[in-house]
Structure 1
Amino acid sequence: MSGAEGNGQVDGTAPAAQKRSTLPGDRAFFGQPLGLFTLFGTELWERFSYYGMRAILLFYLTDTVANGGLGVEQTSGEALVAIYGSSVYLLSVLGGWLADRVIGARRSVLYGGIIIAAGHVLLTLPAPLFSYLGIVLVALGTGLLKPNVSSMVGELYDRDDPRRDSGFSIFYMGINIGSLSAPFLVGAARAIGGYHAGFAVAAVGMAIALVFFVAGRKYLGGSGDVPPNPMTAQDRPAVVRLVLVVLAGIAFAFAVARLVRGEFGLSTFIDAISYLALAAPVATFIVMFRSPKVTANERTRLRAYIPLFVAAMIFWMIFEQAASTLASYAQDNTELSLFGLSLSPELFQSINPATIILLAPLFAWLWIRLDDRPPTAVKFALGLTFAALSFVFLAGASWLADGGKTPAWVLVAVYVIQTVGELCLSPVGLAATTLLAPRAFRGQAMALWFLAPSAGNAIAAQVIQSTPDASPTAYFGTIGLVALVFAGAMFALAPWVTRHIRAGADSPGEAALQH
């Protein structure tokens, strides 16, 4: 689905060697280790539960109490869905750190899955308190699980195993199968039994994921059992200081949000999480630039990464609105019929994974044919351009409708255009992150990449709250045009970025990768 999920193989092989001999069924799953089947099934059903819940979340939040919803005002509901997405990515940083330093990837996935399942169960109960607590638990559990299933896939292979890339391709297909099917089944359950029935289907999906993971542990050969960089007694004072700094930052963000809003409510919570999501990448870059472990060459590369990060942040700000403003547009401004068939609004969220499944092999072939051209910076600019054009196109269609509803194919086209942008930007995003991150921070590269969609969602939440009365034409048109300006700037900066990547390369071969 979302490329921010990535393949996740930042390193993923360091702790596996000590148990390599215990891996059974080495080629039992389409020529891959049988452990891949365990992780494939786990991720498929976890993504089914996540995207199934997300597909109907906005409708549940904003529907009237009489219809089984929570009665949240539309703008607040859209902003809450956006900040929920931001929280998931922000908590993924915590989940990755806990797995690396404390509990290992396997326990992180297991505990995360249990917390997600508990959250979905709470969402099946018809009480607002249970619903909000369920949303929090799903976000927390996803943060624990999301970055670590991918790293466990990496541990199934030696670094020089030629099956690694194809194994991740199979694994990534599971993500898209889960996210493709979820809106159909959860939407059907909602139509038959209401919102809580839909959440129950998502809960069943997460339960199946846990069964896959627990029952298939014996095929993992110890993958994820051991933290790759376990915390030592000498590390504890520094970790305590870090925890205190983070807690102080959270308290400060909520205090500022409370001061700005003048009260503590839903908008205060949304603002506070937004501040944290926007501050996190700034703090990360400052730490990297100031670290004595970072060499001059690495600082050169890091400077080149900043424009790429900003482009990715704006891209995800647009792309991640699939579950917020685009879901609202599907429900309120789209003719819900296509080729004579009636559609439910959540079904549009299946277009992205379906398009990924169809187009990903074509793009993989295209980059090979072009010898991986154009350079990374140009691919980022292209991805942002397509995302921006999707909103400009939707604004134009809305303007032509003149207050009426646009045909369903319009929204289909919007999702397809965005997916083309995703295929330009996302597959190279994590690769660029791991390539350009300083060596001392290479293990945290996945965390840095997750901060881009987290910040993008936070920007979306703030824009949504600031434009409650904007028409679809004005809202999507303005964001699209502003994003086009950023895309133009990225094209203009592309030669500078490419030169800095080459200048900071560790070897001529690495520099040659930027054509």
Structure 2
Amino acid sequence: MTNENRQKIVASVPQKGFFGHPKGLFTLFFTEFWERFSYYGMKAILLFYMYYEVTKGGLGIDKNTAMAVMSIYGSLVYMSGIIGGWLADRVLGTSRAVFFGGIFIMLGHIVLALPGNLTMLFISMVLIVLGTGLLKPNVSSIVGEIYSLEDHRRDAGFSIFYMGINLGAFISPLIVGEVGMKHDFHLGFGLAGIGMFIGLIMFVLTKKKNLGLAGTHVANPLSNDEKKKVYTIIGISAVILAVIIVIAIMMGALTFDSFIALVGILGVTLPIIYFTVMYRSQKTTDVERSHLLAYIPLFIAAVMFWAIQEQGSTILANFADERTQLNFAGFKLSPALFQSLNPLFIITLAPVFAWFWVKLGKRQPTIPQKFSLGLLFAGLSFLVILIPGYLAGTDALVSPLWLVLSNFVVVLGELCLSPVGLSATTKLAPAAFSAQTMSLWFLSNAAAQALNAQIVKFYTPETEILYFGVIGCASIVLGILLFLFAPKIQSFIKGVR
């Protein structure tokens, strides 16, 4: 996107109206609030739905397999952002991509709300994966469009937007989780679908007035010749892929283990391909190539961070179900309720971090320094959760306060890394790949969860202390290295802070 187009878009958006920020932040805040309500509400009960016995309303899947499926599901959700980013940059524009994504997500939750079997589970997953790929990276890209590149409110705006994400994520386990765990899983999934429907309505009714031209510009549209060539390639590829899948199933080669391994390979190779294509493109300027080089260590740091944070819905969810004393202070706690801890702390602390970055202004830490802090806190969160096993043994139930403390520490890291990463991505993205670079940012989460699918099998009560210790220490060491090299990385960013 040219600077002239950026200026036209910013000029079309009312710049005051939502906590001192552009009015369009209201529309994007609540669209993402309801999308995250639906996603995290579903996610709060999905693991338990998969491995609980059929007599308890579940599917009876093996526990370790269920945790691997959760990680693969999360990986594919973020990996699909490649498709969503490409469609937004080349065909739809980000606004239309958000709308169609919301429809797919809603349909996915409706399928989950119907009593069914593994087949219906996988159909719903496909719909939600495609829908999230369209919506998630593109709604964040629109946030970047409503601010000028020189606007010091930008990082604070992303922190407020991030608070909206987590407000939805906080409320949904309390509502969807409570209904799903205590009454009926399918009724809980139905509530998640209603949440996405409300988000779609709000987006459609307020986007014209609040967003102006934001999201309507197609950054790098396909020419007529390119359309014919690209659509032909997509059609042929889809047929070939379908044939390969059918043959693999008939030969018994497509198993859970082989699929997990395939996603793991994709989690590593796709970011490499993405970086290479953007770096070598003739549409990428020399300054933008320098930005991409600086982005690589930030991406690696994000993978390490998300590998820890995303285990909150797998390893730590199982920890809450089987290793935690759920009768606490006279209350019977649901294991799904612990999924609200992370967003609760973000809601509480995000305004503090937003104010702090604005207060520091040009004196605030650089982007690489903020990322290094994120890694340090993430590593410490895993060291915290190994303490009760070390003190009392891994066969005893532990106080839920240990999960509270671990979640609090990782949130400190998340607020140093995640909203800053979103903002940095919009600043460092090559103009011809604006939405696709946001998709690349979400690939860090996809790579992390693809990695998690490989390593969750190593977690057992016997290996609990070693598991948390090795991963936690690895994150701390990487954080220290990133901090030491932060000045060199910053020199490649060239003026962006």
| Deviation sequence 1:372-428 (CA, Å, 0-9, x none) | 444433332221121112112212222222110110000011111111111222233
Match of 2:370 in 1: 379
Equivalent residue letter for 2:194: V
| Deviation sequence 1:21-56 (CA, Å, 0-9, x none) | 6x7x87565566655444333221111111100111
Match of 1:104 in 2: 93
Contact 1:380 1:425 in 2 (8 A): yes
**Distance in 2 (alpha carbons) for counterparts of 1:330 and 1:13:** 52
Contact 1:383 1:423 in 2 (8 A): yes
What are the residue-to-residue correspondences of 1:248-267 with 2, within 5 Å? 263-267=253-257
Shift of 1:483: 2.9
Match of 1:4 in 2: none
Equivalent residue letter for 2:187: A
**Distance in 2 (alpha carbons) for counterparts of 1:383 and 1:53:** 27
Contact 1:254 1:268 in 2 (8 A): no
Deviates more, 1:433-442 or 1:392-401: 433-442
**1:343 counterpart (321, 333, 347):** 333
Unaligned runs of 5+ in 2: none
Contact 1:88 1:139 in 2 (8 A): yes
Deviates more, 1:147-156 or 1:26-35: 26-35
Contact 2:326 2:333 in 1 (8 A): yes
**2:111 counterpart (122, 140, 144):** 122
CA-based RMSD of the aligned residues comes to 3.6
Identical aligned residues as a percent: 44
**Distance in 2 (alpha carbons) for counterparts of 1:140 and 1:274:** 19
Match of 1:236 in 2: 227
SS in structure 1 at match of 2:106? helix
| Deviation sequence 1:107-126 (CA, Å, 0-9, x none) | 22222111111111111111
Shift of 1:64: 0.7
With normalisation by structure 2, the TM-score equals: 0.86
Match of 1:400 in 2: 391
Shift of 1:304: 3.8
Equivalent residue letter for 2:262: A
Match of 1:425 in 2: 417
**Distance in 2 (alpha carbons) for counterparts of 1:223 and 1:304:** 27
Contact 1:105 1:225 in 2 (8 A): yes
| Deviation sequence 1:48-71 (CA, Å, 0-9, x none) | 111100111101111111111111
Equivalent residue letter for 2:34: W
Match of 1:354 in 2: 344
Match of 1:78 in 2: 67
Shift of 1:329: 0.6
Change in Cα spacing, 1:437 to 1:166, as seen in structure 2 (3 Å) is closer
SS in structure 2 at match of 1:235? helix
2:83 corresponds to 1:91 = no
Contact 1:38 1:219 in 2 (8 A): no
**Distance in 2 (alpha carbons) for counterparts of 1:377 and 1:137:** 36
SS in structure 2 at match of 1:41? helix
Shift of 1:462: 0.9
Change in Cα spacing, 1:269 to 1:177, as seen in structure 2 (3 Å) is same
Change in Cα spacing, 1:12 to 1:151, as seen in structure 2 (3 Å) is farther
Deviates more, 1:298-307 or 1:404-413: 298-307
**Distance in 2 (alpha carbons) for counterparts of 1:222 and 1:318:** 38
What are the residue-to-residue correspondences of 1:263-278 with 2, within 5 Å? 263-278=253-268
Deviates more, 1:40-49 or 1:310-319: 40-49
Contact 1:396 1:477 in 2 (8 A): no
**Distance in 2 (alpha carbons) for counterparts of 1:137 and 1:321:** 23
Change in Cα spacing, 1:449 to 1:293, as seen in structure 2 (3 Å) is same
Shift of 1:204: 1.6
* Paired residue total: 493
**Distance in 1 (alpha carbons) for counterparts of 2:194 and 2:73:** 21
Match of 1:412 in 2: 404
SS in structure 1 at match of 2:32? helix
Shift of 1:479: 2.0
**Distance in 1 (alpha carbons) for counterparts of 2:407 and 2:247:** 36
Deviates more, 1:289-298 or 1:409-418: 289-298
Change in Cα spacing, 1:422 to 1:30, as seen in structure 2 (3 Å) is closer
**Distance in 1 (alpha carbons) for counterparts of 2:476 and 2:146:** 42
Shift of 1:257: 9.7
With normalisation by structure 1, the TM-score equals: 0.84
Match of 1:7 in 2: none
**1:58 counterpart (47, 51, 56):** 47
Equivalent residue letter for 1:279: T
Change in Cα spacing, 1:305 to 1:329, as seen in structure 2 (3 Å) is same
Change in Cα spacing, 1:375 to 1:206, as seen in structure 2 (3 Å) is closer
Equivalent residue letter for 1:53: M
Change in Cα spacing, 1:175 to 1:270, as seen in structure 2 (3 Å) is same
2:130 corresponds to 1:140 = yes
Shift of 1:275: 1.8
Match of 1:189 in 2: 179
Change in Cα spacing, 1:372 to 1:318, as seen in structure 2 (3 Å) is farther
**Distance in 1 (alpha carbons) for counterparts of 2:294 and 2:488:** 8
Equivalent residue letter for 1:394: I
Change in Cα spacing, 1:139 to 1:311, as seen in structure 2 (3 Å) is same
Shift of 1:172: 3.2
SS in structure 1 at match of 2:224? coil
Contact 1:301 1:501 in 2 (8 A): no
Equivalent residue letter for 1:464: V
**2:35 counterpart (46, 57, 81):** 46
Match of 1:326 in 2: 316
SS in structure 1 at match of 2:61? coil
**Distance in 2 (alpha carbons) for counterparts of 1:149 and 1:198:** 25
| Deviation sequence 1:228-275 (CA, Å, 0-9, x none) | 33221243366458748986997899799999x973222333222222
Shift of 1:20: 6.3
Equivalent residue letter for 1:418: V
Shift of 1:174: 2.1
SS in structure 2 at match of 1:405? coil
Equivalent residue letter for 1:99: A
